């Protein structure tokens, strides 16, 4: 399954995902593995808990003076010879990048994994402008071959089994290959090698940018990020404005927890520091360096209910532990960012109406907030979104009527007790042995898979009088 | 020590679906020397309204509850999620300063049952009402909301007459999530199915939890599969209750 069709209700999209046996296999294996690795990594790292608090404080302090840090970053990147562009919207960001490409006469762009470029739908725009985008991260390469979109923030092809990848390679590259990750990686590497040399443009995201040094930081595992930033003539990095960090010291705090949260590694294999374009006398590096700072709804949330979501490091831990994500995968969500944090980011980018269904795609179990390296209280913000959806009357009218009636019932104890008695009468035809196996209407959504306890023959309220008399004198 | 005074907040699910849990708690607490009161007119803590985003309605329910329990020394709740609602959300919901003060006081005196038994009364040794192997599911709000993993386990580990075994993935959600269970029933049911496979693999006769919501979900699922495992509330296992 590729990106879901948003005209289909979310419940149905989720349902199809759960019927996809390959997806189910791939998801269970991958998320279970990630959960275990993360747990081990922090188990061996007692300072981790404290560092998570510190990281959270740094994020908050940075957001409080975001304008100042961004100015500092811009000054420093430009001092080093780079150029900084500010884009308020996705369209503006695409425009800036296409213009850079046009001026460079680019025909091909190699890319390293970047959710920011997914967010602005850059690949389609590049193609239309006659610049072929080539994804060089293995996972991204796979989904590009399959004409799909990432289904996880850090593991874009998490929804595919290795057998499916082998079939895909066989079909698209016309070679028969074994379903062995090592073999598959080797093939992809071979295919990509020439592209690195042909491409005029290297496009990356950025995990961090350091304000007081002007350094752009990329955290990767495959080393392709390093090639994308050094081989092509022009390097463009696209980064959400919230990712600026004040100093190298602050960066160290994030690096200490990022990879552990993401993949359970102590550090990722490559941490690439980009410090301006190539200077005279240097052998490596691009002639031009551009940093595109992307707002796209973020700055608005500095004073909005989703502010805390701007702490996000995009580690993916909240997806891996989310019981909903683990059943349905990323595509069913239907937007660039899946999983619990993805719901918040979707609301940030496209407004609360866009998550009217998704705001409820959570049991509020809190596993996300617990796993999040910067302890973002995702459940609280989901509730906040639900409130907004209710108060702005985006929620379905019948639903609102039911909840409001329920609210009235709960403030009127006599009515409430009467309702229990009425329910006890109404349920009679359905009760067997103290439970209900099947009910009509939307009650069936419960009873299809679960028995429902029957309203007790006597409620606690009705038993209390007698119970009160049992009290020892 | 003078006898502790306890006000029972039985909760809506406890009242309507699981009254025997409330009865067990009353008898148990009395046996431990407490006086138990049941403030009449209580309904629900308002969590279902709150979690679905109906905060005006939740506020009205919460304000009533705060007033009803104003004079309580200790409030004991059989469900971690409702205790969490009272402790974490009530104070923030109250707008009237006097009510907010009362809500804060109430928050400080409210306990989920196992916490009250272990941390307030200091009781861990109980005899079981049934024998055999038991396992325990951490309900999300009790574990991640109230950070309580130990009290129920301490009771179960020391429980005379049963063998306690850990449930693999005990800390993972059972898929209930209030209205989530009927808004996305297929997702909720698949989460539940995985939970119940783990439960059955332990070979336990009883699955214990400290939350009526999870018990409704897991108990309903177990009955539907005609499992030999019974979902029970902690209170029902502790002798001295005996509903
Ligand atoms: S919300 Fe937290 S856990 Fe989720 S991706 Fe962002 S940093 Fe990671």
pLDDT tens digits, one per residue of A175-199 = 888 888 888 888 888 889 889 989 9
CB contact under 8 A, B49 and A403: yes
pLDDT per residue as tens digits for the range B157-167: 999 999 999 99
Contact of A7 with A293, CB cutoff 8 Å: no
State the closest ligand 1 atom to the C-alpha of A341, by its place in the atom list counted from 1.
Answer: 1
Q: B184-194 burial, b for 16+ CB within 10 Å, e for fewer?
A: bbbbbbbbbeb
Helix (H), strand (E) at residue B7: strand B5-8
- Chain B residues whose CB is inside 8 A of the A420 CB are 15-16
Fold of B5-118: Rossmann fold (3.40.50)
What pLDDT does A443 receive? 85
Cα A448 to ligand 1 centroid, rounded to whole Å: 34
Determine the CATH number of domain A10-299: 3.40.50.10420
Res. A283 pLDDT band, cuts 50 70 90: confident
Residues linked to residue B209 through DSSP beta bridges, in sequence order: B233
Pocket probe for ligand 1: among A376, A378, A380, the residue whose CB has the most ligand atoms within 8 Å is: A376
Which residue's structure tokens are 């081990």? A40
Long-range contacts of B54-60 (CB under 8 A, 24+ apart): B54/A387, B54/A390, B54/A403, B54/A404, B54/A407, B55/A387, B55/B93, B56/A407, B57/A403, B57/A404, B57/A406, B57/A407, B57/A408, B57/A410, B58/A407, B58/B89, B58/B93, B59/B93, B59/B94, B59/B95, B60/A407, B60/A411
- Chain B residues whose CB is inside 8 A of the A460 CB are 10, 14-15, 19, 22-23, 38
Nearest to B144 among A359, A370, A445 (CB): A370
Can you state the percent helix, strand and coil of chain A, rounding each to 5? 55, 10, 35
**Does residue B178 carry a pLDDT above 60?**
yes
- A417 class by beta-carbon count within 10 Å (0-12 exposed, 13-18 middle, 19+ buried): middle
The residues in A 376-405 lying below 8 A from B, measured between CB atoms, are: 383-391, 395, 403-404
What pLDDT does A193 receive? 87
Rounded CA-CA distance A369/A380 in Å is 9
Nearest-CA distance B206 → chain A (Å)? 17
What pLDDT does A5 receive? 82
Query: Rounded mean pLDDT of B222-243?
Result: 87
Cα A264 to ligand 1 centroid, rounded to whole Å: 14
pLDDT per residue as tens digits for the range A3-42: 678 889 999 999 999 999 999 999 999 999 999 999 999 9
Contact of B127 with B94, CB cutoff 8 Å: no
Rounded CA-CA distance A83/A55 in Å is 29
Rounded CA-CA distance A342/A339 in Å is 5
CATH 3.40.50 correct for B123-238: yes
Which residue CA neighbors atom 3 of ligand 1 most closely? A372
pLDDT per residue as tens digits for the range A214-257: 999 999 998 888 899 999 999 999 999 999 999 999 999 999 99
3-state secondary structure of A204: strand
Task: Name the closest residue on chain B to residue A409, using Cα atoms.
Answer: B43
pTM of structure: 0.95
Nearest to B10 among A386, A460, A472 (CB): A460
Instruction: Give the residue with greater pLDDT, B159 vs A390.
Output: B159
Domain A300-391, second-level architecture:
Orthogonal Bundle (1.10)
What pLDDT does A397 receive? 85
CB contact under 8 A, B185 and A448: yes
Give chain A's mean pLDDT.
94
Nearest to B184 among A14, A388, A413 (CB): A14
What pLDDT does B1 receive? 59
Nearest-CA distance B140 → chain A (Å)? 5
Cα A246 to ligand 1 centroid, rounded to whole Å: 20
Chain centre to alpha carbon of residue B109: 16
Nearest-CA distance B52 → chain A (Å)? 6
Chain centre to alpha carbon of residue A37: 19
**Does residue A302 carry a pLDDT above 70?**
yes
Per domain, the residue ranges of chain A are 10-299, 300-391, 414-470
- Chain B residues whose CB is inside 8 A of the A388 CB are 53
User: DSSP letter at B86?
Assistant: I
Res. B242 pLDDT band, cuts 50 70 90: very low
Cα A312 to ligand 1 centroid, rounded to whole Å: 5
Per domain, the residue ranges of chain B are 5-118, 123-238
State the closest ligand 1 atom to the C-alpha of A153, by its place in the atom list counted from 1.
Answer: 5
**Does residue A1 carry a pLDDT above 80?**
no
Nearest to B43 among A403, A410, A448 (CB): A410
pLDDT per residue as tens digits for the range A420-468: 999 999 999 999 888 999 988 888 999 999 999 999 999 999 999 999 9
Angle between helices A339-350 and A378-391 (to 10 degrees): 40
What pLDDT does A392 receive? 80
pLDDT per residue as tens digits for the range A65-109: 999 999 999 999 999 999 999 999 999 999 999 999 999 999 999
Rounded CA-CA distance A28/A15 in Å is 16
Res. B60 pLDDT band, cuts 50 70 90: very high
Nearest to A413 among B41, B177, B223 (CB): B41
Angle between helices A21-43 and A10-19 (to 10 degrees): 90
User: Pocket around ligand 1: residues whose beta carbon is below 6 Å from it?
Assistant: A 153, 261, 312-318, 341, 371-374, 376
């Amino acid at each position: 399954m590729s990106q879901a069709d948003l005209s289909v209700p979310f419940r149905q999209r989720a349902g199809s995902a759960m019927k996809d046996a390959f997806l189910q296999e791939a998801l269970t294996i991958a998320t279970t593995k990630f959960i275990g690795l993360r747990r081990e990594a922090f188990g061996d790292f007692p300072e981790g808990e404290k560092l998570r608090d510190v990281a959270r404080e740094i994020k908050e302090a940075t957001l409080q003076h975001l304008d100042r840090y961004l100015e500092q970053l811009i000054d420093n990147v430009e001092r080093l010879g780079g150029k900084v562009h500010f884009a308020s919207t996705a369209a503006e960001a695409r425009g800036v990048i296409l213009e850079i490409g046009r001026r460079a006469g680019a025909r091909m762009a190699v890319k390293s994994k970047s959710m920011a470029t997914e967010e602005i739908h850059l690949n389609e725009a590049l193609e239309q402008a006659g610049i072929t985008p080539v994804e060089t991260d293995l996972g991204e390469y796979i989904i590009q071959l399959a004409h799909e979109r990432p289904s996880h923030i850090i593991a874009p092809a998490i929804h595919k089994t290795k057998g499916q990848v082998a079939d895909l390679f066989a079909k698209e590259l016309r070679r028969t290959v074994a379903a062995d990750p090592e073999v598959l990686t080797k093939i992809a590497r071979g295919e990509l090698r020439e592209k690195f040399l042909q491409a005029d443009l290297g496009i990356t995201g950025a995990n961090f940018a350091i304000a007081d040094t002007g350094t752009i930081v990329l955290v990767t595992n495959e080393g392709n990020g390093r090639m994308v930033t050094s081989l092509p003539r022009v390097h463009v990095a696209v980064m959400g404005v919230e990712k600026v960090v004040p100093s190298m010291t602050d960066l160290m705090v994030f690096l200490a927890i990022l990879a552990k949260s993401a993949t359970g590694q102590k550090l990722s294999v490559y941490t690439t520091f980009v410090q301006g374009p190539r200077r005279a006398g240097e052998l490596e590096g691009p002639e031009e360096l551009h940093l595109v700072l992307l707002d796209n709804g973020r700055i608005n949330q500095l004073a909005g209910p989703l502010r805390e979501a701007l702490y996000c490091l995009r580690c993916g831990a909240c997806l891996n532990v989310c019981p909903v994500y683990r059943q349905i995968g990323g595509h069913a969500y239907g937007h660039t960012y899946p999983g619990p944090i993805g719901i918040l980011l979707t609301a940030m980018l496209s407004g609360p109406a866009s998550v009217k269904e998704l705001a409820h795609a959570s049991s509020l179990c809190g596993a996300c907030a617990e796993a999040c390296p910067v302890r973002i209280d995702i459940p609280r913000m989901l509730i906040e979104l639900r409130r907004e959806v209710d108060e702005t009357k985006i929620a379905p009218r019948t639903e609102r009527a039911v909840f409001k009636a329920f609210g009235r019932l709960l403030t009127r104890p006599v009515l409430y007790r009467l309702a229990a008695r009425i329910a006890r009468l109404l349920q009679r035809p359905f009760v067997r042995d103290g439970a209900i196996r099947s009910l009509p209407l939307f009650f069936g959504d419960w009873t299809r898979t679960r028995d429902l306890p029957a309203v007790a023959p006597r409620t606690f309220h009705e038993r209390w009088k007698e119970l009160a008399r049992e009290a020892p004198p | 020590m003078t006898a502790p005074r306890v006000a029972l907040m039985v909760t809506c699910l406890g009242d309507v679906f699981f009254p025997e849990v409330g009865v067990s708690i009353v008898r148990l607490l009395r046996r431990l020397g407490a006086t138990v009161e049941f403030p009449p007119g209580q309904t629900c803590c308002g969590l279902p309204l709150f979690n679905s985003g109906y905060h005006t309605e939740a506020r009205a329910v919460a304000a009533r509850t705060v007033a009803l329990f104003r004079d309580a020394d200790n409030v004991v709740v059989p469900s971690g999620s409702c205790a969490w609602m009272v402790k974490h959300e009530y104070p923030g919901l109250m707008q009237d300063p006097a009510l907010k003060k009362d809500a804060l006081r109430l928050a400080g005196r409210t306990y989920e049952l196992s916490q009250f038994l272990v941390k307030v009364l200091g009781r861990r040794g109980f005899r079981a009402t049934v024998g055999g192997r038991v396992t325990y599911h951490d309900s999300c709000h009790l574990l991640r909301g109230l950070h309580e993993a130990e009290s129920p386990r301490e009771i179960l580990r020391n429980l005379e007459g049963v063998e306690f075994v850990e449930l693999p993935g005990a800390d993972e959600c059972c898929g209930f999530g209030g209205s989530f269970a009927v808004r996305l029933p297929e997702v909720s049911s698949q989460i539940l199915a995985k939970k119940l496979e783990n439960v059955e693999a332990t070979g336990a006769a009883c699955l214990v939890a400290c939350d009526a919501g999870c018990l409704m979900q897991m108990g309903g699922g177990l009955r539907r599969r005609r499992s030999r495992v019974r979902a029970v509330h902690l209170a029902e296992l502790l002798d001295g209750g005996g509903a």
